[in-house]
Amino acid sequence: MGRRRQARELALQLLYELDVRGEAEPGPVIDAFWQRQQAPDDVRSFADTLVRGVAAQRPKIDELIGRFAEHWELDRMAVVDRNVLRAGIWELLWGVDVPPIVAINEALEIARRFSTEESTRFINGLLDRVRRELCP
């Protein structure tokens, strides 16, 4: 597994924890997470950037998920799916050095590992719509 994929998977774990705890401020949760989890500095840095970026843009990201997820309410989505979408949208719209197709493919690989095939199709459709309608 590549370092960026590892960072994205760790970021998903952090986002999941923040979501389940209802935490808006990621700092203390991130600090506690890195005390439990070892990772190379570059992996940790990318995961931190992703988690903090999602946290900073979460209201806008959640609004976009609500807009593009037809017939789905955000709070009724599986926690994993919701956070894969958050990370994917952040990478599509605010990530640096990540082409949109790579951001979508990475989100799909992570969804395949941590969620269901049905969820993977849903995530693909939603992220592709975001890409088509909002990416330059």
Domains defined for the chain, CATH in brackets = 3-134 (1.10.940.10)
Assess contact for 88 and 103: CB atoms under 8 A: yes
* Residue 42 to residue 129: CA distance in whole angstroms: 30
**What is the pLDDT, as a whole number, of residue 136?**
73
pLDDT of residue 97: 86
Q: Which helix (H) or strand (E) holds 115?
A: none
Could you tell me what percentage of the chain is helix, strand and coil, using 3-state DSSP and rounding each to the nearest 5? 80, 0, 20
How high is the pLDDT of residue 99? 93
pLDDT of residue 130: 97
**Low-confidence residues in the chain, pLDDT < 70:** 1
CA gyration radius, the chain: 14
Give the span between the Cα atoms of 30 and 58, in whole angstroms: 16
Q: How many other CB atoms are there within 10 angstroms of residue 102's CB atom? A: 14
Question: CA 21 → CA 14, 16, 70, 103, 123, distances in Å?
Answer: 11, 8, 26, 26, 23
